[in-house]
């Protein structure tokens, strides 16, 4: 059994997803603000979902190269615990967003080779958390949430000075191996717990969280 793994389920779109996340014991819920995504939410829809999230499950807004106007609108309307920057935001923008909104910021970094691992080091100096994700495939519509993994051996011995989360192509079937190989204490999943793009599956969510605890059904 691997105790204490914190799970983020990203890309919730329906009230039943919020229930499934809470019942499974996930630590974070993620709401996507990216119009091209099948998981995209309007601000009103995100607010309604976030208000239903029980205390103890952190609410994370995922944005991609968002400007202040969009972040103002989201943070004014939606009760949040964290902002996830999932675009090409430079180091200075991460610092700016942290200062402006007073919320912890998690910066996603796509990893495909050793050079990308160096970027993680730099972002760990300015962000509250880092999300170690797979690089999107060439020509992908989405910068994340593509259900692809990276070579976990690239980060096998790496540690950072801030909490970090492993993401990219995780599923109920591979997450235990990913944790064992990388030493991740936090994991993030979207496609791997969906019945179809944008449609979460409560059984897969439960199986995923269970698998992080080493008790896969
Ligand atoms: O999920 C999306 O549609 C999305 C859109 C734009 C940027 C990021 C997006 N998702 C990121 C995630 O859900 C996860 O943090 C991560 O990339 C893992 O996704 P997956 O490989 O699908 O588990």
Domains with residue ranges and CATH for the chain: 6-212 (3.20.20.70)
Quickly state the pLDDT bin for 193 (edges 50, 70, 90). Answer: very high
Spatial distance between the Cα atoms of 63 and 53, rounded to a whole number of angstroms: 19
> What's the 176 CA to ligand 1 centre distance in angstroms?
19
**Contact residues of ligand 1, CB 6 A cut-off:** 10-11, 32, 34, 37, 39, 62, 64, 86, 131, 133, 142-147, 167-170, 188-192
- CA 33, 35, 37, 42 dihedral sign is positive
Quickly state the pLDDT bin for 26 (edges 50, 70, 90). Answer: very high
The pTM is what? Answer: 0.95
ipTM of the complex: 0.97
- Give the model's pLDDT for residue 157: 81
CB 6 within 8 A of CB 188: no
**What are the tens digits of pLDDT across the range 80-134?**
999 999 999 999 999 999 999 999 999 999 999 988 999 999 999 999 999 999 9
- CA 61, 85, 91, 188 dihedral sign is positive
- Give the model's pLDDT for residue 115: 87
Residues 6+ apart with CB under 8 A from 42: none
What single DSSP character describes residue 45? H
Q: Mean per-residue pLDDT for 10-38?
A: 98
Give the mutation target among 86, 106, 134 for probing the ligand 1 site: most ligand atoms within 8 A of CB: 86
Residues 6+ apart with CB under 8 A from 216: 172, 173, 176, 207, 210
- Asked whether the predicted pLDDT for residue 38 surpasses 90, the reply is yes
């Amino acid at each position: 059994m691997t105790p204490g793994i914190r799970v983020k389920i990203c890309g919730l779109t329906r009230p039943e997803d919020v229930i499934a996340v809470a019942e499974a014991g996930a630590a974070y819920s993620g709401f996507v603000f990216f119009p091209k995504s099948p998981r995209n939410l309007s601000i009103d829809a995100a607010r309604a979902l976030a208000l239903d999230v029980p205390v103890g499950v952190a609410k994370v807004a995922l944005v991609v190269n968002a400007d202040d106007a969009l972040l103002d609108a989201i943070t004014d309307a939606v009760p949040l615990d964290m902002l996830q920057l999932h675009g090409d935001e430079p180091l200075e923008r991460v610092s700016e967003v942290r200062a402006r909104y007073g919320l912890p910021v998690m910066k996603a970094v796509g990893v495909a080779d050793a050079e990308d691992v160096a970027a993680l080091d730099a972002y760990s100096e300015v962000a509250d958390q880092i999300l170690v994700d797979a690089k999107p495939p060439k020509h992908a519509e989405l910068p994340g949430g593509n259900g692809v993994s990276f070579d976990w051996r690239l980060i096998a011995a790496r540690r950072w000075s801030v909490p970090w989360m492993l993401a990219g192509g995780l599923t109920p079937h591979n997450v235990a191996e990913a944790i064992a190989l990388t030493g991740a204490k936090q994991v993030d999943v979207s496609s791997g717990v969906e019945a179809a793009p944008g449609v979460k599956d409560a059984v897969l969510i439960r199986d995923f969280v269970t698998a992080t605890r080493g008790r896969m059904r």
